[in-house]
Structure 1
Amino acid sequence: MTGGHSPGVRRRRLSAALKRLRGDSGMSAAEVAKRLGWSSATKVTRAERNEWKFPKRTDVEALLDLYEVEGEEREHLLSLTEEARGRSDWHQYADLFPGSLPDLEAEAVRIRSYESLLIPGLLQTPEYAAAVFEASQVVPADTIQRKVASRMARRAVLDSPNGPTFIAVIDEAALRRVVGSHIVMAEQLRFLAGMAAHYKVTVLVLPNEAGAHTAMDGAFALFDFPSPEPGIVSISTGVESLYVEDGEYVDRHTLIFDGVHNLALDPRKSLDLIVSIAAEHDKRA
């Protein structure tokens, strides 16, 4: 389930482009609406905030005419409009991903993740993922298997030729925490060690000896997209995921990630520690 593109992310890109074009034109949303004969400025601002379901080609063409966009840029934005009207490969899991996480993963060129208590979702085994969902007590029992299946399917993005590279910095505490059972943990860590050999995956362990660090406030992920698309920071809570595109916010989290990245063990030492802790779980199983 890798897909050629994500309609959800195409809509986000189109909205960002239209907002930029209006800014370059110097017109207010009210002036744009008036000149196009639209009933209110709300139609303009909703499009720019990506609050539309299916962009209308005629509306986008009218905006591009007003902003005097021609040539390759016009063709590109009209192509985005058509692609944005499609349906995501993940529509059957739409109720599980209100924040369009799979679409963001599919469109990103790089994902950087810091996890303090968990193995990253893209690197989890089914048994580990099920234990996490069961322990949360906020996931209905009848949807746990769908959640697990969707999480496993997401991993296909790493095998896609156009998929992102993935850099995961994982706190040692996540490797030692017993999720499910020692058997589940041993299998999870062996799988993690195997994924560390994937050509698009880098797994780094932040050892306990690193002490206090820049990401003490918790886990997050950074999504980088093709230039000039802005990056996104994702922060998950027990009940929702927040996705923030603010440039300053992204820059601050980039510095935070760089901090833990610099303190983490190198890939070889990280792998050795993962294998060692897996053996400890085996002994206690």
Structure 2
Amino acid sequence: MSEIHASGYSPTIKKRALSRKLVAARKEAGLTTTEVCRRLRWSATKLNYIEKAKWITPNSDAVTDLCDLYGIEGDERQALKRLAQGARERGWWTRYNDVFRSEFPGFEAAASSIRTYQTIYLPGLLQTAAYMKALPPVVGIEDPAEIKRHVDARLKRQQLLTRPEAPCRLHAVIDENVIARMVDPRIREPQLRHLVEMTALPHVTVQLVPTGAGLYQGAGEAFTHLGFSDPGERDIVFLETAVDARMLEEKDELRTYMLRFGRLCAVALDPQATRDRLIEVIE
């Protein structure tokens, strides 16, 4: 079995890595899922949840049973156990399960790079508190306490851009109509100034697609691509709809969205021109 990486910022990623390693171990042992379930007297659902990283809190006993069955001993066995222990930790985002509808914050917390394209709202990592506060009422959330929780959760997310060790790299392509929709001057000017300040960070790149671009290549639904420094981790593309959030990770899917992001970057203003444009709008 390939080397096990148990480090990282996120238990969500550790859970995903654990599941991937257990699948690889099963295949190396030459066992089918049916054979594993028969030998361990497990239901197919239980094994599927383990191998698809759907288990809520990885069970050490289940990992031990699989190690016994697959003949995993020594350092590899201990590494898997440590990975399972780390995967059971609770990330900060679990305190906001009423705010986040998916595991996206857990994956985002472990990302080394984020590429995002937005057409309606500013990327969450670049929003001011005032902008955040204006968003919940758009989807029918009016309770002040609930709005505060949304703002607190979003501000917590932004810490990955300012963490002292290896801050995440962010590259955002934003349709200029997002800027035009900010009509409240109490929100608009502080938010634009914040964007300008963020573009000064060496690990943050912002590009605007000008309204003058007309119908442009790559236009369509918003998406976010998460990249991971661990070569064993496969990148992810997240698509959020009114119904649910989809996670794409097949190679052809990732390739499609990376090509699309490249087209968007090509049609957008370059980073310096974007910064100049933001300053022009403020003035």
Normalising by structure 2, report the TM-score: 0.88
Deviations 1:135-165 (A, max 9, x none): 2325755411210111112111111213421
* Greater Cα shift, 104-113 or 94-103: 94-103
Task: Write the mapping of 1:186-265 to structure 2, written as runs, cut at 5 A.
Answer: 186-225=189-228, 226-238=230-242, 240-265=244-269
Which residue does 2:85 correspond to in 1?
82
Which residue does 2:148 correspond to in 1?
145
Which residue does 1:283 correspond to in 2?
none
* Greater Cα shift, 127-136 or 185-194: 127-136
Equivalent in 106, 109, 113 of residue 106 of structure 1 = 109
Which residue does 2:276 correspond to in 1?
272
Matches of 1:193 and 1:32, distance apart in 2: 55
Deviations 1:30-87 (A, max 9, x none): 101223x323333221201122122222321332333334555444322210101111
Asked whether the 8 Å contact 2:113–2:227 carries over to 1, the reply is: yes
Partner AA of 2:94 in structure 1: H
> Is the partner of 1:190 in helix, strand or coil?
helix
Matches of 1:101 and 1:146, distance apart in 2: 17
> Is the partner of 1:21 in helix, strand or coil?
helix
Shift of 1:98: 2.8
The percent identity for this pair of structures is: 34
Task: Write the mapping of 1:46-195 to structure 2, written as runs, cut at 5 A.
Answer: 46-70=49-73, 72-137=75-140, 142-160=145-163, 161-179=165-183, 181-195=184-198
Shift of 1:117: 2.1
Aligned length: 274
> Is the partner of 1:215 in helix, strand or coil?
coil
Matches of 1:278 and 1:133, distance apart in 2: 25
Deviations 1:142-191 (A, max 9, x none): 41121011111211111121342111111111122225x03311111110
Normalising by structure 1, report the TM-score: 0.88
Structure 1 residues 248 and 94: CA distance shift in structure 2, 3 A? same
* Greater Cα shift, 230-239 or 148-157: 230-239
Asked whether the 8 Å contact 2:172–2:205 carries over to 1, the reply is: yes
Asked whether the 8 Å contact 2:217–2:267 carries over to 1, the reply is: no
Matches of 1:271 and 1:70, distance apart in 2: 55
Matches of 1:139 and 1:18, distance apart in 2: 45
Structure 1 residues 186 and 48: CA distance shift in structure 2, 3 A? same
Matches of 1:75 and 1:254, distance apart in 2: 37
Matches of 2:127 and 2:38, distance apart in 1: 52
Structure 1 residues 232 and 153: CA distance shift in structure 2, 3 A? same
Deviations 1:187-213 (A, max 9, x none): 111101101112321111122233333
Partner AA of 2:231 in structure 1: S
Please list every run of 5 or more consecutive structure 2 residues that lacks an aligned counterpart in the other structure. Answer: 1-7
Shift of 1:9: 2.5
Matches of 1:213 and 1:71, distance apart in 2: 56
Which residue does 1:29 correspond to in 2?
33
Deviations 1:207-245 (A, max 9, x none): 223333343222110011221211111112245432223
Partner AA of 2:123 in structure 1: P
> Is the partner of 2:216 in helix, strand or coil?
coil
Matches of 1:267 and 1:87, distance apart in 2: 37
